[in-house]
Structure 1
Amino acid sequence: MADYAKVIINGSPITKSNFKLHNINGRAILPNNSGKYHDRYALYEQEIALLARSQNPDIIFDESLIAILRVFYKSEKRHPDTINITKSIFDGIEKSGLIVNDAQITRIFTEEYYDNKNPRFELELFAESKYNFNFTITQKPIPSQPKLYSPIKKGLFNNNLENTSSKIDLTTTKSKKNTTKSQQTDNNKTIPLLKICTICKKNITSDDYVKADSGKTLICKKCFNKLF
């Protein structure tokens, strides 16, 4: 029985943490032939599955595992969150048949690096029955330059809360959110916003459609059936 495997997948790693698409039964799915940008998530999993199996043709782990994941990004400034990248990777590893279920990964250590000429990830799997995993954290004799991060999103309130002119009227904010769902007319009547299918670009006249990306992507039933 094998107790070790290594997988190397070249190319910039991607994450699907912010993409959600469900079928009419509420099951999460990944389209791969819609011709749209979100096909890349499923295609990336397939690439991982094929290469992981070709690199380890005779290995099937059925016990708990220790994983060491090293992710090499092309750019230090723009890349996915490393904390989210593991989901896409291990979904592809599971599809390869190298492991039975990604729940087998009981310990994982992830490291982030940068290689603008050869972005990739390297994954090592160790059978927990044969290997121990230990690590230590030590204080540097000479501190290095800190790597600082800026907030991604600005807060709702300014830092100076004492300045009343900088405060946000929550009632007004809530009202604006509600008005974005419909268009107001002079007679206080509402006209629903048109729903457009992302694939065929036609109006969706019924309530039978699929939402993705937190409602930003809409797919009509006809196009959805063609995808799957």
Structure 2
Amino acid sequence: MTSYAKVVVKGTPITKSNFKLINKEGRSFLPMNSGKYHDRYANYEQEIAFTAMAQNPGLVLDEALIAILKVFYKSEKRHPDTNNITKSIFDGIEKSGLIINDAQITRLVIEEYYDKENPRFELELFGDSEFNLTYQVLKRETPLPKKSYELASNKKGEMRTRPKPVKKPDAVTGSNSCSVCKEPIPGSDFISADSGKTIICRGCFTKLL
């Protein structure tokens, strides 16, 4: 049986961290079939799983693996952090049955590219028993123009020096306000997400699901 597989999924990858909700007990979960924006991640994970199965029918890789991931973004200026997308991708690959567990990925190389007409990711998996990975970092004979990264600016054009504060209870009523219906929430009867920045009352949360 071959110890190699390749998966190509069209579209810009998305990160899991943007779609998790956290309940009052601190457990995180991903809503599905709610008809809301948060379904987008679950649908993307399913797309990866179905594509991986279709492109590698009947194949199961059950050994340690070398992974080469090439990500082609539509825009050079606006795209997810490349180091955050691997969890999204390998969760879908694991769900497909192509691999047993994403812990099998013992060596990983990620390369970032841009393709306005055809954004996608290309993942190659190599069995460690049959393949080896070597790499070199070489000094360029002719340097390229430097690509500099800057801190994100706020709407006023000023550099943001500290993160947005976590939402705190109202100083007068002592309650939180629901991010959906804007009504005050007495006590701690709410669902929080995005590190506490988003507060949803039980009523609105039930409607979302």
Same fold at TM > 0.5: yes
Structure 1 stretch displaced more, 77-86 or 29-38:
29-38
SS at match of 1:40: helix
Please, what TM-score do these two structures have when normalized by structure 2?
Answer: 0.84
Matched AA of 2:54: S
Equivalence for 1:35:
35
Please state how far the C-alpha of 1:181 moved relative to its aligned partner.
2.8
Aligned-partner Cα distance in 1 for 2:183–2:160:
36
Q: Compared with structure 1, are the counterparts of its residues 216 and 137 closer, same or farther at alpha carbon in structure 2 (3 Å cutoff)?
A: same
Equivalence for 1:211:
192
Q: Compared with structure 1, are the counterparts of its residues 197 and 179 closer, same or farther at alpha carbon in structure 2 (3 Å cutoff)?
A: closer
The aligned runs of 1:149-160 (5 Å cut-off) are 149-152=149-152, 154-155=160-161
Identity between Structure 1 and Structure 2 (%): 58
Aligned-partner Cα distance in 1 for 2:3–2:70:
19
The aligned runs of 1:55-70 (5 Å cut-off) are 55-70=55-70
Equivalence for 1:107:
107
Is the counterpart of residue 80 in structure 1 residue 80 in structure 2? yes
Q: Compared with structure 1, are the counterparts of its residues 155 and 45 closer, same or farther at alpha carbon in structure 2 (3 Å cutoff)?
A: same
Q: Is the Cα contact below 8 Å between 2:176 and 2:199 reproduced in 1? A: no
SS at match of 1:2: coil
Q: Is the Cα contact below 8 Å between 1:2 and 1:60 reproduced in 2? A: no
In structure 2, stretches of 5+ residues that fail to align are 153-158
Q: Is the Cα contact below 8 Å between 2:65 and 2:104 reproduced in 1? A: yes
Q: Deviations over 1:73-98 (max 9, x none)?
A: 00001111111111111111111111
Is the counterpart of residue 196 in structure 1 residue 178 in structure 2? yes
Equivalence for 1:148:
148
Please state how far the C-alpha of 1:54 moved relative to its aligned partner.
1.3
Matched AA of 1:192: G
Q: Deviations over 1:173-217 (max 9, x none)?
A: xxxx7995323xxxxxx313453263x776645633321112233
SS at match of 1:12: coil
In structure 1, stretches of 5+ residues that fail to align are 157-176, 184-189
Q: Compared with structure 1, are the counterparts of its residues 2 and 209 closer, same or farther at alpha carbon in structure 2 (3 Å cutoff)?
A: farther
Q: Deviations over 1:32-83 (max 9, x none)?
A: 2223222211111111111111111111111110000000000001111111
SS at match of 1:182: coil
Is the counterpart of residue 182 in structure 1 residue 170 in structure 2? yes
Q: Compared with structure 1, are the counterparts of its residues 180 and 224 closer, same or farther at alpha carbon in structure 2 (3 Å cutoff)?
A: closer
Equivalenced residue count is: 201
Tell me which structure has the larger Cα radius of gyration: 1
Equivalence for 2:156:
none
Q: CA RMSD in A?
A: 2.6
Please, what TM-score do these two structures have when normalized by structure 1?
Answer: 0.77
SS at match of 1:87: helix
